[in-house]
Structure 1
Amino acid sequence: MSYNIQETSQISPIMSRRYKSQTELNCRRSGCLFCTMNEPDPTTRRSRLTKCFSQLHLRDDEDLVITLSCLWNIAVAQPNDAEFPSLGVFKCMAKLIERSINDRKWLSRGKNAYIPYYAAHIIGSYTMNKPPHAEIAIASGVLPPLMELLRGKISWVEQRVAVRALGHLASHRRTFKAIITTHDEEGIVNLAMNIASTCLDTVYTQFLSLKGYKRVEYHRELMTRGHEGLEMENKKAEEWASQLQSWSLYLLNCFAIKKKSVNLICKKQFLEDLSGMWGGLNNHQNSFSGVCLIRSLCLSKDGRRSIAMSNKVIQTLCNISRSLDEWQYKAIESILLLLQDQETRFRVMDLVVPFVVDLVELKIIKRGGTTTFGDIITRVLLQDYGRIKYGQMIMKSKTSQKALEEVWNLKVERRKRDDMMSEQEFSERKVMVGMLKAEGNKKFRSGDIKVAVAKYTKALELCPLKMKRERIVLYSNRAQCYLLLREAELAISDTTRALCLSGAMNPHTKSLWRRSQAYDMLKMARQSLMDCLMFINGRTKFKPKRHVKIPFYAVRMLNKQISATSLFGTSSVNNEAPTIMASRVQFRK
């Protein structure tokens, strides 16, 4: 028997050796998948594959798991290939999962414990991109066995791939309808909510907290693929726990985006839990955060009403909106949706204005390249400003009212004045700004910090808006003064404004470092970590790799915040949280 499908490193060494030993022999097994794959005649090949899939779940030989692992590799490598889905692979996988659940004696035999994991993963991979594949899967009866895995009938490892597969099935319009008509919608949503809220504790209790020899052997093998070592196991367990949570949120998002079960998802405690589900540091397809789900909930009136009632959720959105978190723009979009709804606008206005006022010069282009994000924020913030200005409407918070006045002056009044400014006045102001900046620097060096703040503030008031470089430096310098005065919120505000002006492509590195320090003062470890990472990236991206030197103070901050943002909080295994978390950090080169 020869097998010409590319064998990947994802098959464990144990299975790979066993497969190679089989390939060296002449195969006499009827319905062998590998022999069938090498059949040269297409018609005969398809007929034999159909027969193979119809009988695969009945096999009891020890090589069944090798067949499944190879099928899994094919599905992962070629998820859009329609051949296997059209020939019965889904019905075969459904029957294998059903057998695993119903026949525990068979499941415990040999390597059969691996089978439900591979079967569910194959279903998820083939239904990921193609709606026709998902429709075939539903018609083949994959939902009942996947739901049993979702209920935890075997373990959290199978639950992880089951929720992934169900999320892909629910992401397609027709198959979503099939799911909610054939299964208890409320039951699916409650299961996904429970998994998202409890999965980290489950993984820690059932795997990470156990000593190596007490951990389930096939869990360890699936995670490490034969690469032994406690560090590798811990690293993969954290990654899988994060994926289990992310995929659960993705499944819930399929309901929220279609405005189904919104009131059920919007339970007060679950919304508050969402604030801490941040999806990891790396923004990729397997990383779906609580903020993404919150944004989808904000698309419906019931969702906006529930979110507006939770100060904790609003605070989270505000904090993320000013950070360099990968979900920053999801948080901003959520806030804008709340502000555009008249029912929720005045409930959240006083809470969000002091934060988003720092973003009115954000330069990310939106809506076909005609309007910047900052302009959209400005328009939404100022839509009632005329009524506020002339006393027809009074805001509860004087701070928020003052912030709106500042936005009006910056984006309307100063723009008008700058447009009418003569060349001579511009030159005079440029000189005055330079003098005030120099005076501020001198006062800062002499330790007269409050006077330095006053000088920088006066310089910012006089500085023309188009002098962006000077404004960036002035905001950043004033932020450094606020750090020394222990005014962390004011430092965050100024550094955020400097970073909005400098742009995401080339952020002002000093402002990143200063904001990281300010976040650290407020014990906001996640935001501090993201800024510290971006600061290091900014220091290293234009230098040859051999010349890269990361400042000691940045490394110290990085290690501190990695420990503080451990996925499992205080439940770190053998104090190895920093090692585990370090695997999630990727410097952008």
Structure 2
Amino acid sequence: MLKFDEPQCTNPSCFFCSMKETNPFRRRSKLAAIFKEIPRTESKDHVLVLSGLWNIAMSEPDDPEFPSLGLFECMSNLIEKSIKNRAWLLKDQNIFIPYYAAHIIGSYVMNKEDLAAIAVDSKVFVVPSLLELLRGKISWVEQRAAARALGHLASHVKSFEAVSLFEEEIVKLSMEIATNCLKNVYKSFLGVEDSLRLKYQSDLLTRGLGGLERENSKAEEWGIQLQCWSLYLLNCFASRGKSIDRICEGGFLKKVSEMWGGLVNRKSPGGIGLIKTLCKTELGRNKVSEVREVIERLCDLSRSSDDWKEMALDTLLSLLKDSNVRYRVIDVLGFRLVDLAEDKVVGDRVAQIVLQDYHKIKYNGLKMNNEEAQRVIENLWEMKVERKKKEKLMSETELEERRKMVKSLKKQGKKKFLNGFVEESMEIYTIGIDLCPLDMVRDRVVLYSNRAQCYLLLKKAEFAISDATRALCLSAVTHPHGKSLWRRSQAYDLKGSARESLMDCLAFVDQRLKSSNTEMVPYYAAQMIRKQMSATWVFSGVDSKTGKSDG
């Protein structure tokens, strides 16, 4: 059989041939020359070269070879050429180049601070070109890659100063992107007819794998990532005490507290993470404490099964520790603060912080401007201190009588409930809770949970959330009380808090499947999950405004 030799490459500046060069000195020399030449020349092969570089950067981001040979300057020049020369950008497949270039920069500055320092060297200085993409000069796709790259640069000490030269504009843009990016992605891509979508964006999203379903899924993922990276950029400035006043604008803080973040990009602090960072500064704590909606949001997250629960709790603790804003926060939280004091992990810390001024109020005549805050402190003192003292002074006989009475009250309350006397049942459970010794933990869980069910039927969502939370705080962390999870999920649904309802429902299903050794999800729970998944879809708000269906 005859063998035909493969055609030999005649291009002396071929990137792929240079990569095969066995002599390391000649190889480096060729690659350095190619990186200088690419922005100055036109070739259909440039897209293939950048695609190859993108794959290398994603798989070997810590390799310093290409950055040391002028890669950053090459990518920065290509981005600038894309912005300035529209005719060139729309020629052949050049439209892909700015996206790849920004992504390559972002990958190489991701982990190694020394590589980030090269990228912002005075001879290279990639920040201005990335900033052009962040401004949205091309589209949201390139904006995402630029936000990622700038976020990595801002995370390193050696490169942060270069990014901070454009602090005012980057912070302003990041706030705008975080607020509007999901709407923009939907309106420019997801919400338009498939035939009207920009083909190069569709190709980047799918990379030839899958069809429309994958394309839509990736677009949603990238939209979330764009928001994540804008929050990450803001967090980089806030963590260094920069632009705190600007970021803490009240209207923006309300929106930030609703931003999930981190669902796809786990490095993102998310909205709550950014608020936590802001609260590490005195100015940030003062600003955050003035926005009632943010404090309530933190409280709801703290009384939920959300992944961000612990971060929300930590943020509330930092606010409560600050004597200048403590009572402002207590006033907003009201009796809900007592729920958090039952938490097995941070409950004692919450109580200790809140009660530190109790003696001044009670015995030294300290007058508080806020009566609600004073009532909360007194209730917390009664629950965490006085009740323990009283029970220690009780005889075993008296405690045993109480135990028997509680058992009886539980039965009476259940009977009243089953017969339809909800309010009477609730009153019986309340008496039981007041009498129940602290060591009867399981009975207290049931009493709180049953009273939560009564509040649910009476449409008193906040009280139901409170009681279900206390029941869950008293139950084992590794085995939360299933009925209380479901009841709190229903209560959050009644309140209109879809996210908290969803997370509690998912936790309830997980607990039920583990405990009952079944793979069947209860129908009512599946219905709730479907409802809340629809309500919490990242584009749900945008979708309803455009009048399009969820399909």
Helix, strand or coil at the partner of 1:276: coil
Partner residue of 1:436? 409
CA distance in 1, matches of 2:21, 2:31: 10
1:312-370 per-position Cα deviation (integer Å, ceiling 9, x unaligned): 22222222222222222222222222222222223322112422220113233xxxxxx
- Extract unaligned runs of 5+ from structure 2: none
Helix, strand or coil at the partner of 1:549: coil
CA distance in 1, matches of 2:297, 2:179: 17
| Correspondent of 1:233 among 196, 204, 215 | 215
Partner residue of 1:49? 31
How does 1:400-415 map onto structure 2 within 5 Å? 400-415=373-388
Partner residue of 1:360? 341
How does 1:379-418 map onto structure 2 within 5 Å? 379-390=352-363, 392-395=365-368, 398-418=371-391
How does 1:541-556 map onto structure 2 within 5 Å? 541=514, 547-556=518-527
What's the CA shift for 1:258? 0.7
1:401-422 per-position Cα deviation (integer Å, ceiling 9, x unaligned): 3332232122222334455666
1:267-318 per-position Cα deviation (integer Å, ceiling 9, x unaligned): 22222222322226x3752544222111111111222222222222222222
In the comparison of the two structures, how many residue pairs are matched? 543
Helix, strand or coil at the partner of 2:146: helix
Helix, strand or coil at the partner of 1:79: coil
How does 1:436-585 map onto structure 2 within 5 Å? 436-541=409-514, 547-572=518-543, 577=550
Partner residue of 2:348? 375
Helix, strand or coil at the partner of 1:60: coil
Helix, strand or coil at the partner of 1:285: coil
Amino acid at match of 1:316: R
Amino acid at match of 1:322: R
CA distance in 2, matches of 1:71, 1:426: 74
What's the CA shift for 1:569? 2.8
Helix, strand or coil at the partner of 2:509: helix
Query: CA 1:284–1:456 in structure 2 vs 1: closer, same or farther (change >3 Å)?
Result: farther
Query: CA 1:394–1:490 in structure 2 vs 1: closer, same or farther (change >3 Å)?
Result: farther
Task: Give the conservation status (yes or no) of the 8 Å contact 1:62–1:111.
Answer: yes
Task: Give the conservation status (yes or no) of the 8 Å contact 2:327–2:373.
Answer: no
Task: Give the conservation status (yes or no) of the 8 Å contact 1:246–1:289.
Answer: yes
Query: Over the residues paired in the alignment, what is the CA RMSD in angstroms?
Result: 2.5
Partner residue of 1:151? 135
Amino acid at match of 1:147: L
What's the CA shift for 1:263? 1.2
Partner residue of 1:3? none
CA distance in 2, matches of 1:321, 1:507: 15
How does 1:152-191 map onto structure 2 within 5 Å? 152-180=136-164, 183-191=165-173
Task: Give the conservation status (yes or no) of the 8 Å contact 2:327–2:370.
Answer: no
Query: CA 1:349–1:152 in structure 2 vs 1: closer, same or farther (change >3 Å)?
Result: same
Amino acid at match of 2:494: M
CA distance in 1, matches of 2:416, 2:67: 73
CA distance in 2, matches of 1:300, 1:233: 42
Query: CA 1:405–1:148 in structure 2 vs 1: closer, same or farther (change >3 Å)?
Result: same
CA distance in 1, matches of 2:48, 2:395: 78
Query: CA 1:235–1:287 in structure 2 vs 1: closer, same or farther (change >3 Å)?
Result: farther
Query: CA 1:396–1:526 in structure 2 vs 1: closer, same or farther (change >3 Å)?
Result: farther
What's the CA shift for 1:217? 0.7
Partner residue of 2:117? 135
Task: Give the conservation status (yes or no) of the 8 Å contact 1:339–1:380.
Answer: yes
Query: CA 1:355–1:82 in structure 2 vs 1: closer, same or farther (change >3 Å)?
Result: farther
How does 1:195-234 map onto structure 2 within 5 Å? 195-234=177-216
What's the CA shift for 1:104? 1.5
1:404-445 per-position Cα deviation (integer Å, ceiling 9, x unaligned): 223212222233445566666555544333222222222222
Helix, strand or coil at the partner of 2:404: helix
- Extract unaligned runs of 5+ from structure 1: 1-22, 365-372, 580-589
Partner residue of 1:71? 53
How does 1:290-309 map onto structure 2 within 5 Å? 290-309=271-290
Partner residue of 1:61? 43
Partner residue of 2:246? 264
What's the CA shift for 1:75? 1.7
| TM-score, L = length of structure 1 | 0.86
Query: CA 1:158–1:284 in structure 2 vs 1: closer, same or farther (change >3 Å)?
Result: closer
Task: Give the conservation status (yes or no) of the 8 Å contact 1:321–1:332.
Answer: yes
Partner residue of 1:5? none
Partner residue of 1:10? none
What's the CA shift for 1:90? 1.4
Moved more, 547-556 or 33-42: 33-42
Query: CA 1:453–1:543 in structure 2 vs 1: closer, same or farther (change >3 Å)?
Result: closer
Amino acid at match of 1:221: D
What's the CA shift for 1:42? 3.6
What's the CA shift for 1:389? 2.6
CA distance in 2, matches of 1:421, 1:61: 89
CA distance in 2, matches of 1:25, 1:475: 79
Helix, strand or coil at the partner of 1:382: helix
